[in-house]
């Protein structure tokens, strides 16, 4: 589906532009044209090439599914491939959605396979206030990228909450149930860090006036989007460190628990084993002299008490009882 | 709450400036104006924009809550967003408080939502000695940033003490109680490192004469603040390394303790189990030949002593007793 | 085996070129010559040196087996040593195959010891469409490198699948069988990362117009190959992180399992040991008073029930039963 | 305590300079002045400022106790804050001692709170050979810094020996006694690395001719000090890696020991437990048929031998006995 | 021992040069002089300084034993300190041997304390083919450095084999015997990486035309040595990663083995302990009613079978038997 919006130098918005009128509009001074292409490019590739003279390699990149964010300067136009947060992204899986943009001196072409929330929001903003578009195609691109970055924020909050939960669980339980979750979260964070890092690099290049197609005024705004992305990559790094720390703490806790349990087992087992051995001796069917003593069984009781006390003192001395 | 202070070329301080007189003062040569805005910007946004021509994006950043330290050059003014230590910061949680500043050729505007100790201290300093302000708005900014960094120092000492404690506890006890504390401390250190790192970068850029609004004399002073921040980030890095080292040592200690306990359990259990088995044999209700021997029970005692001695020698040989 | 292809300025392909005609062809304006040498260089070294004046060090590198990807600028020609994926590469072992190329102003010489899939594919493409070759030797090189990178993709998918499997196994079983596989996979990933990283660096240098022999148009295409390699090295890094994460999770799971088993052992052992001791006492062949009580054995049952209940309450209090 | 040494252009040393004569000496061409201030600056601050026009911020840094090595260019003079090894430094704790220096075109001012071995040695060298000082204040500074670095070497050797010991102990014993030492050593190494790293950076800046006050000849000598510091930081990094490696090996060894002990416990326990159960059965006071068999007890012996052999074969099959 | 070789512009080699004739030879145009000094410098220091005007600091570095590879530009000559592989280097210890070289416009001075295989080989090459030396002292230096790097290769192969062995042992056995070896290997790799890294940096600087004394032709050759060193440092990094991975796998395997053994112990112990308790009960010398039942002992057998079956089902349910 093709949406074409043009904005004249007099800040009048025109949404009834046909493909045929585009070449004339692109020649009119002060006019900004925005073409949004939703769904697969397919047959429109020819139209893009002939009208905007975009590079065939950029078209190819548009259509490919697996690409990281990138920016290419083809002289007459910039090609920007950017990744937004997919609405289904969660703390278990980070999904991204690809948005391609061709930025020329007076045109912006955006392509996306699925519905794009940032495009939708920018379009509505332009309709409400055509002045936004009269500032040139760079400012329209800024708005799209700004919306895209804003959509990272709810995900960051979801992640923050999940990490708080996982942290508590890691420090509390010694079960394995949490470990699958930790693993998934780490995977999502690796992916998020990777995509936001590339995205940040693109915005750094856009905002530091590397490309003549971006004027100084627009660069100031793109710098702001860059700052947001710095914060997101920063958070992603912190999150990874926190999750790794939680897992380490978990391992320590399990280790301590095992140690604690072993101490209980050792104390009780080693205390009773010699006693059980003694009662075993007097359970033998020999005719032992102690059986004929008057207080034979009391003697054995005393012997056992002495052995238990002896063990206790030895243990105490070797520090088995205290936790150090 | 709005505080306006002006300092004429004759080093005379004027605290009774109204908003209306500001445009005239800003035109007077040699006059330095400092406007401090405490609490939410809200309605004052218009006043800032019209009087100081600050960029709307900077106003937006002022109002946002979640931003890392940053610096933006808008040509006619610099926008600096800096983070000071929140008074409630502790070894359990690092909290920061945001301070925004607009630095122009002859004005400084500072904005902060909550009371700011650095602003308060600078204001008092200026009142006592108006000469400080006559040196220009850059030197006022220097003083604010310098106070802000000074307030990091008590926190660093609190952290140092806490780390010493944690280190001792980690090397002493094998309990899990310490692990939540270690985790919280690590979290605080990650956050502290992140904020102080960004802050340091800002002061590096301010002090290396990148911006024409900062003159050489002021840059020398800002370089000093930068050096303090280098020390703080350095310490934060060392602290993280120490905490990680303490945790590692803790794990080793727990592991060694478990090994020690296991050895005790193994030696005693494996020594007594064969003996208990022997006494069990002679507890069976068969009419065994040994029962009719004269020194049957002494024979069994001897048998058990022999088995125990044999076990002992085998253990000794296989090195169960020695710790290696 | 030597394959010589020449393409005249009129886009006519000539595959019947002999070694003798080459010097004349190389002098003809607009003619592009591609010489492909399959198998060991051996005697052809002299031919390469005399016809294309390639540097003897480059010839040496061609023949050596153990080299990482590299690029050398000898002024009159570039020497590129690149590594493609060996068809036998798997998730157990990453194997690469070396391809050397000499790029001059109007010639390309490619050398490879074994059959090369990328050379084969490029040759067929050129035969189908001679125009591809008329664009100059740089574009032929681009096509070879592009095919080489495309052949990384099936390997990346194999690795992705293997990692998913290993992840599942690591989180499921506590056996050692998986560990050899994990180790092999890590080894393959280290190797893959190393080679693709060097390859990426070469393409960065080729595409950023560092060498006058690469014109602007070709550089744009080589930039595209670079972007693909960025994705591959990125994936290789993610894969290594995922495998490391899976191994860590595996260790945690084993640790938790051991803890769980220990708790069962401890609870049952410490519950029954005192009871067994009590029954042992009354198995002694002394004439104990309890034997003459009417409900002596019921008293002992009661005693044992009391001891068991006591132990239970102590355990419950010390938290042995609950998993925390 | 103030020591003032002046060296005229004729290489004559004059140690009887009073503060009053200094301004004249500083104006005399070819004269080099060295002022050494031992102990707290206190009242001498005014003298330094008026005579050498040093920056007040540098004076402040001199007096502060907690600073990392740094270098500041104040135009008319350089301020260098460097850290030497404290004589009490050991493998348990790295202590440093601060030395400040102001380097002007014809003067050097050194300040240190405690006695300084490098200052002492340089002073004696200058007294023996006044020519050293006639080469300018930069060469005097070089000698001071060179002595300072030389004093790192005995510490490096102490550390090397300690690491060799710790390595042996880590690989030998499974006790916790070593862990406190390892922890202290790591702490000392972190600190050493931090200080020597900053020091190295200062010498890099001094030696790469960044400051006009350092002439080419002196820079060559300072480069030599830089090379020594590269070696020291290099060693510090290696040492940290070795200690970390020793700790890892220690953990593995403890883990293996625990595994070994567990195997012994398991084999003996599981072998005897069924046998003890069997003898328990025939210890019951029922009138069992086996009691009336002629070779009843031999039958039970055989039964037990069969069970033991069965267990042995099962264990052997499941690989409990062998270490793999 | 001093070896002096001179090569005239006519490519005639002269090995009978005395110290006295050197100054004249150095003035002859087109003559290349190579002086090799084997053993301690000692008295020759004066000769080097007077004849070649080398810097005293460089002489000092020559004589010092503990230096990392470095390069210093003294204007009239370069000083290169390089480390070759000591013939005694093994997988247990990496040893290096220091070689110093002074490179001037028409001379090369090499110094080494012990016999040097690279110097020997270069000398023989020059004798066989004097043309090699006629290309200038830079090419002689190239040959020495190239031989030095070639001697790394047998060591790399030794390491490769040792790593393969260690990997197998780590994945197979759970003994501590391997750990000392792993530790030594890691130490050797750390050292190898450090030296080859510094060496690589020197060759990068030599080959990127930073020094006017190295002409373009020689730089191309030195670039080749640099490429070899890239491979060696690369391999050293991979090796370290592999060893670390093998150690991690080893720990996992030991952990799994311990878990396995614990499960066997737990299952058998907890199965028999209640049964032993039951037989203990009926071993008590009370006159219990069951003794008078006709099939009393069969009842007890049934009871025990029921308890064992119950335990079995509980265990099965809680997943003690299966490995997950």
pLDDT for A97-133, tens place per residue?
999 999 999 999 999 988 899 999 999 999 998 888 8
pLDDT value, residue C140: 94
Closest CA to E248 of D255, A271, C229: D255
Q: With CB atoms and an 8 Å threshold, state whether D250 touches B252.
A: yes
Q: With CB atoms and an 8 Å threshold, state whether E284 touches C283.
A: yes
pLDDT value, residue E177: 74
d(CA B167, CA B239): 11
pLDDT band at E322 (very low <50, low <70, confident <90, very high): low
C171 vs A180, A186, A284: nearest CB: A180
Looking at CA atoms only, how far is residue E264 from chain D in angstroms? 7
DSSP H/E element including B83: strand B78-85
d(CA B235, CA B233): 5
| Residue D324 predicted with pLDDT over 50 | no
pLDDT value, residue E200: 93
Highest mean pLDDT among B286-300, C25-39, E165-179: C25-39
Residues of E in contact with C265 (CB under 8 A): 262, 265-266, 269-270
- Residue-wise pLDDT tens digits, D52-97: 999 988 888 888 776 788 998 888 899 999 999 998 888 888 998 9
Q: What is the pLDDT along chain C (324 residues), one digit of tens a residue?
A: 889 999 988 888 888 888 888 888 888 888 999 999 998 887 888 888 888 999 988 888 888 776 788 998 888 899 999 999 998 888 888 998 999 999 999 999 999 988 899 999 999 999 998 888 888 899 999 999 999 999 998 999 999 999 999 888 888 765 667 888 888 899 899 999 999 999 999 999 999 888 989 988 899 999 999 999 999 999 999 999 889 888 888 888 888 888 888 888 888 888 888 888 888 888 888 777 778 888 877 888 888 889 888 888 887 887 666 554
Residue pair D161/D235 in contact (Cβ under 8 Å)? The answer is: no
| Residue B17 predicted with pLDDT over 60 | yes
Portion of chain B with pLDDT greater than 70, in percent: 97
**E101 by DSSP, 3-state: which?**
strand
d(CA E4, CA E19): 8
d(CA E133, CA B288): 100
Portion of chain E with pLDDT greater than 90, in percent: 33
- CA angle, C87 then C90 then C91, to 5°: 160
| Residue D247 predicted with pLDDT over 70 | yes
Q: With CB atoms and an 8 Å threshold, state whether A262 touches C266.
A: yes
Summarize the confidence of residues D108-114 as an average pLDDT: 92
- Residue-wise pLDDT tens digits, A199-220: 999 999 999 888 989 988 899 9
Return the DSSP state at D154. Answer: H
Summarize the confidence of residues D247-263 as an average pLDDT: 84
CA-nearest residue of chain B to D243?
Answer: B245
Write the ipTM: 0.79
Residues of D in contact with E283 (CB under 8 A): 280, 283-285
Q: Evaluate the CA torsion angle E132, E133, E139, E143 in order and state its sign.
A: positive
pLDDT value, residue E324: 43
Closest CA to D68 of D202, D185, D233: D202
| Residue B213 predicted with pLDDT over 50 | yes
d(CA D258, CA D280): 32
In terms of phi and psi (left: phi > 0; alpha: psi -120 to 50; beta: otherwise), the region of C319 is left
Q: With CB atoms and an 8 Å threshold, state whether D176 touches B252.
A: yes
| Residue A95 predicted with pLDDT over 50 | yes
Residues of B in contact with D182 (CB under 8 A): 249
Q: Characterize A257-268 residue by residue with b for buried, 16 or more Cβ atoms within 10 angstroms of its Cβ, and e for exposed.
A: bbbbbbbbbbbb
Q: How far is CA D46 from CA A135, D43, D73, in A?
A: 60, 6, 20
- Residue-wise pLDDT tens digits, B184-208: 899 899 999 999 999 999 999 999 8
| Residue D258 predicted with pLDDT over 90 | no
d(CA D23, CA D1): 20
d(CA C161, CA C306): 58
d(CA D304, CA D290): 14
- CA angle, B235 then B239 then B243, to 5°: 175
Distance from the Cα of residue E283 to its chain's centroid:
68
| Residue D322 predicted with pLDDT over 80 | no
Looking at CA atoms only, how far is residue A210 from chain C in angstroms? 14
| Residue A43 predicted with pLDDT over 60 | yes
- Residue-wise pLDDT tens digits, E16-47: 888 888 888 888 888 999 999 998 887 888 88
d(CA D15, CA D253): 64
pLDDT band at E321 (very low <50, low <70, confident <90, very high): low
Summarize the confidence of residues D42-58 as an average pLDDT: 87
Q: Evaluate the CA torsion angle D123, D126, D132, D133 in order and state its sign.
A: positive
DSSP H/E element including B79: strand B78-85
Q: With CB atoms and an 8 Å threshold, state whether E268 touches D263.
A: no
**B101 by DSSP, 3-state: which?**
strand
Summarize the confidence of residues D145-171 as an average pLDDT: 90
CA-nearest residue of chain A to C283?
Answer: A283
- CA angle, D104 then D108 then D114, to 5°: 140
pLDDT band at B320 (very low <50, low <70, confident <90, very high): low
pLDDT band at E140 (very low <50, low <70, confident <90, very high): very high
pLDDT value, residue C174: 57
Q: What is the CA radius of gyration of chain C?
A: 36
pLDDT value, residue C124: 92
pLDDT value, residue B324: 43
Beta bridge partners of C110: C36, C101
Looking at CA atoms only, how far is residue E205 from chain C in angstroms? 16
pLDDT value, residue A324: 43
| Residue A320 predicted with pLDDT over 60 | yes
A285 vs B67, B257, B291: nearest CB: B291
Q: With CB atoms and an 8 Å threshold, state whether D286 touches E285.
A: no
Looking at CA atoms only, how far is residue E65 from chain C in angstroms? 33
pLDDT band at B209 (very low <50, low <70, confident <90, very high): confident
Burial (CB count <10 Å: 0-12, 13-18, 19+), residue C310: exposed
Q: Characterize C122-135 residue by residue with b for buried, 16 or more Cβ atoms within 10 angstroms of its Cβ, and e for exposed.
A: bbebbeeebebbbb
Q: With CB atoms and an 8 Å threshold, state whether B176 touches A257.
A: yes
Q: What is the CA radius of gyration of chain E?
A: 36
Summarize the confidence of residues D11-16 as an average pLDDT: 84
- Residue-wise pLDDT tens digits, E82-112: 999 998 888 888 998 999 999 999 999 999 9
pLDDT value, residue A120: 92
What pairing do the DSSP bridges indicate for beta strands A2-7 and A32-38?
Answer: antiparallel
| Residue D101 predicted with pLDDT over 90 | yes
Summarize the confidence of residues B54-65 as an average pLDDT: 85
Q: How far is CA A267 from CA B242, B271, C269, C306, D235, in A?
A: 35, 16, 12, 20, 47
Q: Assign 3-class secondary structure to B286-299.
A: CCCHHHHCCCHHHH
* Residue B316: both structure tokens together: 């000794």
Among C285, C289, C315, which would you mutate to test the A interface (most chain A Cβ atoms within 10 Å of its Cβ)?
Answer: C285
| Residue B166 predicted with pLDDT over 50 | yes
Q: How far apart are the first and last CA of chain D?
A: 72
Summarize the confidence of residues D40-59 as an average pLDDT: 87
Closest CA to C220 of C207, C203, C202: C207
Q: Assign 3-class secondary structure to D65-93.
A: CCCCCEEEECCCCEEEEEEEECCCCCCCC
Q: With CB atoms and an 8 Å threshold, state whether B270 touches D275.
A: no
| Residue A85 predicted with pLDDT over 50 | yes
d(CA E160, CA C92): 18
pLDDT band at D291 (very low <50, low <70, confident <90, very high): confident
Portion of chain D with pLDDT greater than 70, in percent: 97
E186 vs D224, D245, D287: nearest CB: D245
| Residue E182 predicted with pLDDT over 50 | yes
pLDDT band at D236 (very low <50, low <70, confident <90, very high): very high
d(CA B114, CA B283): 83
Residue pair A277/B275 in contact (Cβ under 8 Å)? The answer is: yes
pLDDT value, residue C321: 60
Residues of E in contact with D241 (CB under 8 A): 190
Q: What is the CA radius of gyration of chain A?
A: 36
CA-nearest residue of chain B to A168?
Answer: B180
């Amino acid at each position: 589906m093709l949406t074409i919006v043009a904005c004249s130098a007099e800040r009048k918005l025109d949404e009834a532009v046909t493909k045929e009128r585009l070449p004339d509009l692109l020649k009119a001074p002060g006019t900004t044209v925005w073409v949004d292409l939703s769904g697969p490019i397919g047959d429109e590739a020819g139209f893009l090439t002939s009208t905007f003279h975009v590079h065939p390699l950029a078209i190819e990149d548009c259509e490919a599914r697996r690409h990281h964010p990138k920016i290419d300067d083809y002289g007459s136009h910039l090609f920007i491939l950017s990744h937004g947060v997919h609405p289904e992204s969660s703390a278990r899986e980070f999904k991204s959605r690809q948005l391609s943009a061709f930025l020329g001196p007076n045109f912006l072409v955006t392509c996306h396979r699925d519905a794009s929330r940032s495009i939708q929001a920018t379009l509505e903003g332009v309709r409400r206030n055509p002045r936004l578009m009269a500032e040139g195609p760079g400012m329209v691109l800024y708005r799209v990228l700004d919306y895209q970055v804003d959509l990272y924020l709810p995900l960051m909050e979801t992640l923050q909450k999940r990490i708080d939960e996982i942290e508590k669980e890691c420090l509390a339980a010694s079960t394995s149930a949490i470990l699958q979750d930790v693993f998934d979260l780490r995977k999502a964070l690796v992916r998020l860090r990777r995509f936001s890092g590339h995205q940040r690099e693109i915005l750094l290049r856009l905002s530091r006036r590397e490309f003549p197609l971006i004027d100084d005024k627009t660069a100031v705004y793109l710098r702001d989007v860059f700052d947001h992305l710095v914060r997101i990559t920063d958070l992603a790094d912190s999150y990874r460190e926190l999750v790794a720390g939680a897992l380490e703490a978990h391992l320590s806790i399990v280790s301590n628990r095992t140690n604690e349990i072993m101490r209980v087992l050792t104390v009780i087992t080693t205390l009773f084993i010699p006693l059980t051995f003694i009662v075993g001796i007097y359970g033998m069917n020999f005719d032992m002299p102690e059986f004929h003593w008057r207080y034979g069984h009391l003697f054995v009781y005393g012997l056992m008490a002495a052995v238990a006390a002896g063990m206790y003192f030895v243990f105490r001395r070797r520090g088995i009882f205290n936790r150090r």
